[in-house]
């Protein structure tokens, strides 16, 4: 039976990387029944809604989404559609594996980090108001419920995947109550997993330590904003934002999307690297237990990067989105013959 998946192409480079990814998924032979409904600026132009009712209904039906990036205006305009979707479907865990691909020249080889980011609260609560002219207050919400839930997610993942250790990243030296609560929840959950080494690190020092030596970390769990920033920093270890996938996971619903945004600087030019969304789709296939197809795409991805002939510009090549996707499809046949 075909898997039902809601497909959200998004804005900017979203439609290009989505098209490439869907072509590759279709070449695996896995049967997917796509329900395509857009959100964001492109949806607004057509329907007058940033999150069309049809999209909510589709995700409620499928419980599964593959999503391109959505542009969010800076310093005004509508609130983030991404944050709204994560909250609406209680996608409380943002899971971002940062793993080196072969043959890409980066400062550090063989990086294998995992970022587990709380996805529903913190500074992203979006509660801001002007107290008096010239003074604005923003509320950072930290709850025991969400902090415990994300800590448990991180430890369960680490136990299942036999990860080496967990580091909780915080600023509890300054934000004693809010980050203090987050840290207390992590500490309490850590006690239930005595076999997993657990440590706590202050966010600013963590940034420096990561850049000096990323191998000293393994799985990092943190609040929403810290996770957003650290994800981009760590993306640089493996070749940049064009590569890093992500999953927004809740109980009974999941939306897979790249870490990167809509990249307006290269949109519509067939220049974007589709690897990040493709790797997000590989995570989705594993979630659907389509392990053989996921392995085949990953093997083709590794082979394509090893060949160095079809790299996109962000990783030092000259190929476009379409040519890169063509190479993956061709290599999927080659790896299928070998295996």
- Return residues touching ligand NAI (CB under 6 A): 13, 17, 69-72, 82, 241-242, 257, 260-266, 272-273, 276, 314
Compute φ and ψ for 200, nearest 5 degrees. Answer: -125, 135
Q: Are 49 and 309 in contact (CB under 8 A)?
A: no
Q: Count of alpha carbons within 13 Å of 154, Cβ hemisphere only?
A: 36
Q: Which helix (H) or strand (E) holds 258?
A: none
Q: Which candidate in 11, 179, 228, 314 is catalytic? A: 228
Q: Are 91 and 282 in contact (CB under 8 A)?
A: no
| 171 is an active site residue | yes
Handedness of CA 51, 57, 63, 65 (dihedral sign): negative
Q: Which candidate in 67, 171, 198, 217 is catalytic? A: 171
Q: How far is the CB of 190 from ligand NAI (least distance, A)?
A: 30
Q: How far is the CB of 250 from ligand NAI (least distance, A)?
A: 16
| 295 is an active site residue | no
| 204 is an active site residue | yes
Strands 166-170 and 219-222, by their bridges, are: parallel
**Closest by alpha carbon to 168, among 200, 194, 136?**
200
Exposed/middle/buried for residue 222 (C-beta within 10 Å: 0-12, 13-18, 19+): buried
Q: Looking at beta carbons only, is 198 or 256 nearer to ligand NAI?
A: 256
Exposed/middle/buried for residue 16 (C-beta within 10 Å: 0-12, 13-18, 19+): buried
Q: How far is the CB of 19 from ligand NAI (least distance, A)?
A: 13
Q: Are 49 and 38 in contact (CB under 8 A)?
A: no
Q: Looking at beta carbons only, is 101 or 189 nearer to ligand NAI?
A: 101
Q: How far is the CB of 229 from ligand NAI (least distance, A)?
A: 11
Q: Looking at beta carbons only, is 109 or 264 nearer to ligand NAI?
A: 264
Q: Which candidate in 33, 53, 176, 204 is catalytic? A: 204
Q: Which candidate in 50, 124, 157, 217 is catalytic? A: 124
Specify which residues 8 forms β-bridges with.
Answer: 67
CB atoms within 10 A of CB 149: 19
Q: How far is the CB of 33 from ligand NAI (least distance, A)?
A: 24
Q: Looking at beta carbons only, is 96 or 201 nearer to ligand NAI?
A: 96
Q: Looking at beta carbons only, is 142 or 276 nearer to ligand NAI?
A: 276
Q: Looking at beta carbons only, is 290 or 314 nearer to ligand NAI?
A: 314
Report the C-alpha gap between 181 and 177 in whole angstroms: 6
Q: How far is the CB of 99 from ligand NAI (least distance, A)?
A: 17
Quick check: helix, strand or coil at residue 333? Answer: helix
Q: How far is the CB of 218 from ligand NAI (least distance, A)?
A: 25
Report the C-alpha gap between 109 and 170 in whole angstroms: 27
> Measuring CA to CA, how many Å separate 329 from each of 120, 270, 297, 299, 325?
36, 17, 8, 11, 6
Q: Which residue is nearest to ligand NAI (CB)?
A: 261
Q: Looking at beta carbons only, is 257 or 290 nearer to ligand NAI?
A: 257
| 228 is an active site residue | yes
H-assigned helices in 81-202? 81-88, 144-160, 178-190
Residues annotated catalytic, as ranges: 124, 171, 204, 228
């Amino acid at each position: 039976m075909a898997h039902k998946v809601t497909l959200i192409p998004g804005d900017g480079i979203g439609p290009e990387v989505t098209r490439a990814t869907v072509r590759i998924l279709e070449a695996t032979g896995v049967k997917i029944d796509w329900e395509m409904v857009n959100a964001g600026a492109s949806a607004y132009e057509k329907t007058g809604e940033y999150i069309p009712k049809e999209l909510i209904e589709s995700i409620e039906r499928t419980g599964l989404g593959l999503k391109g990036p959505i542009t969010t205006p800076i310093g005004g305009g509508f609130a983030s559609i991404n944050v709204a979707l994560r909250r609406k479907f209680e996608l409380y865990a943002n899971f971002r594996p940062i793993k080196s691909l072969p043959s890409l020249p980066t400062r550090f080889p063989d990086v294998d980090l995992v970022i587990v980011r709380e996805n529903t609260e913190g500074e992203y609560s979006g509660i801001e108001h002007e107290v008096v002219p010239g003074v604005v207050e923003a509320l950072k919400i930290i709850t025991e419920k969400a902090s415990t839930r994300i800590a448990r997610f991180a430890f369960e993942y680490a136990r299942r995947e036999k990860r080496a250790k967990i580091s909780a990243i915080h600023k509890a030296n300054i934000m004693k109550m809010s980050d203090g609560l987050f840290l207390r929840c992590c500490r309490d959950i850590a006690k239930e997993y005595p076999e997993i080494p657990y440590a706590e690190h202050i966010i600013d020092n963590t940034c420096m330590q990561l850049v000096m030596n990323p191998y000293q970390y393994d799985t990092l769990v943190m609040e929403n904003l810290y996770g957003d920033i650290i994800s981009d920093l760590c993306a640089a270890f493996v070749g940049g934002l064009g590569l890093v996938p992500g999953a927004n996971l809740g109980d009974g619903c999941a939306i897979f999307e790249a870490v990167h945004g809509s990249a307006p600087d290269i949109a519509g030019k067939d220049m974007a690297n589709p690897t990040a969304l493709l790797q997000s789709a590989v995570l989705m296939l594993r979630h659907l237990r389509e392990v053989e197809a996921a392995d085949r795409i990953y093997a083709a991805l590794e082979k394509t990067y090893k060949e160095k002939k079809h790299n996109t510009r962000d990783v030092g090549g000259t190929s476009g989105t379409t040519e890169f996707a063509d190479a993956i499809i061709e290599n999927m046949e080659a790896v299928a013959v070998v295996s």
